[in-house]
Structure 1
């Protein structure tokens, strides 16, 4: 299957990925061919479900890029189904407490340590062709839950959240956080920036990797943001989204050709 996301998270060099919100495997091809190391398949805000996400994950495998899936809720059944489909990392939105993070981690692990249902007849298990014990041992190492913290409640509880054993990474959600804090999408607000910096510092202090979304469609601002967060210890960035990057390219062509 595709490149290992945990290895990418552990690297000290800048690693770039993006969001996939358009249900087109060809766009995964373009993401990989243009040098991105990973993509996050968005089943929370993307208008598709797991059946489509599995097809997109196969495209990621074909292009040797890592992928994760953002699920709509912290549901052990949905987490199990995503992992069974061969998508090794799950991004769990709106995590606000350590107990919620513990529930997400438990859903990624087989019993008796966790809640994940066991079925060898699935894509990740090799459709009952692979040796079960070897498969379980490999899954325990390569799968993971990524805590997406994007509310004021999550910020308040961040020091407990980042210490939950088994989390693969912390992802900060500046846009949703700005809404939760009353700034209505102003992710550039100094108060929001201060809250995100607090979360990053808490994760770095316990050696938990951080994934940072970079929303700005302005390339210079995006570069400045990456440089800023690099200075805080972040090395993994989720740049724009397929929609943002395509819209930017369309605008560039219309502006140049129309002389605007």
Structure 2
């Protein structure tokens, strides 16, 4: 296990990542070999579970990039399984309240402080933990929960969410938020941008790092969006997804060669 996602999030330097939705370690190889610093393995919208995510995380480790996993829901058992598999950060979708953030964070911590089940034979500890006390201290310092806020209700509660102790980062979800607000996927709508800007400003004021998805497949627009959010304190960006980037490359080749 290599690069530390927490270190990337705390840095003022720009960090680029993407979503992994295709269950192919070779694609994670390509993500790492082509300059991305992290990937988020998508067990919510990707058609796979923790078993596959563990192997995708191995590819991330082999290529020196950080990884996180987006789970399908805020389930302490699934959080435990992801962390035991050596994926150090979990992204919790549709997070709408401080209580939900507290539950997710508790699931990353061992008793007596949290809910995480304890096992000395898991990948996160090298499959056989000989010094449990030392392992717990290191493990709890390096794992964490990222709140994916992507609904109107989540925006309403953002002040309380970012104040929850132990939250690794806030991720904004412009596309889902546009649907929640009635804009049918139009993440460019001014009202959606205003809501995202409010979340960013609130998180930055609370000294919580922000991860910002950049959906546009147009490089100039993507760069403009990054510059926009960079000026507002964001330095970590999730660029498209493996599917978006591959589809864009395919279409550019076919369009050019059939002119």
Instruction: Give the structure-1-normalised TM-score.
Output: 0.99
Between the aligned partners of 2:72 and 2:15, the Cα distance in structure 1 is 25
Residue 157 of structure 1 aligns with which residue? 157
Q: Is the partner of 1:212 in helix, strand or coil? A: strand
Number of equivalences: 259
Residue pairs, 1:8-27, within 5 angstroms: 8-27=8-27
Q: Is the partner of 2:124 in helix, strand or coil? A: coil
Contact 1:213 1:239 survives alignment (8 Å): yes
Q: Is the partner of 2:52 in helix, strand or coil? A: helix
Residue 66 of structure 1 aligns with which residue? 66
Contact 1:125 1:132 survives alignment (8 Å): no
Residue 227 of structure 2 aligns with which residue? 227
Between the aligned partners of 1:174 and 1:98, the Cα distance in structure 2 is 20
- Segments of structure 2 that go 5 or more residues without pairing to the other structure are none
Residue 111 of structure 2 aligns with which residue? 111
CA-CA distance at 1:167 after TM superposition: 0.4
Are 2:192 and 1:199 equivalent residues in the alignment?
no
Residue 101 of structure 1 aligns with which residue? 101
Contact 1:2 1:67 survives alignment (8 Å): no
Between the aligned partners of 1:129 and 1:146, the Cα distance in structure 2 is 26
Q: Is the partner of 2:26 in helix, strand or coil? A: helix
1:109-155, CA deviations, whole angstroms, 9 ceiling, x for partnerless residues? Answer: 00111000010111102222442111100011100000000000000
Residue 173 of structure 1 aligns with which residue? 173
CA-CA distance at 1:205 after TM superposition: 0.3
Q: Residues 183 and 9 (structure 1 numbering): CA distance in 2 closer, same or farther, change over 3 Å? A: same
Contact 2:129 2:135 survives alignment (8 Å): no
Q: Is the partner of 1:47 in helix, strand or coil? A: coil
Q: Which runs of at least 4 in structure 1 moved beyond 2 Å after TM superposition? A: none
Between the aligned partners of 1:2 and 1:167, the Cα distance in structure 2 is 21
Are 2:248 and 1:213 equivalent residues in the alignment?
no
Instruction: Give the structure-2-normalised TM-score.
Output: 0.99
- Segments of structure 1 that go 5 or more residues without pairing to the other structure are none
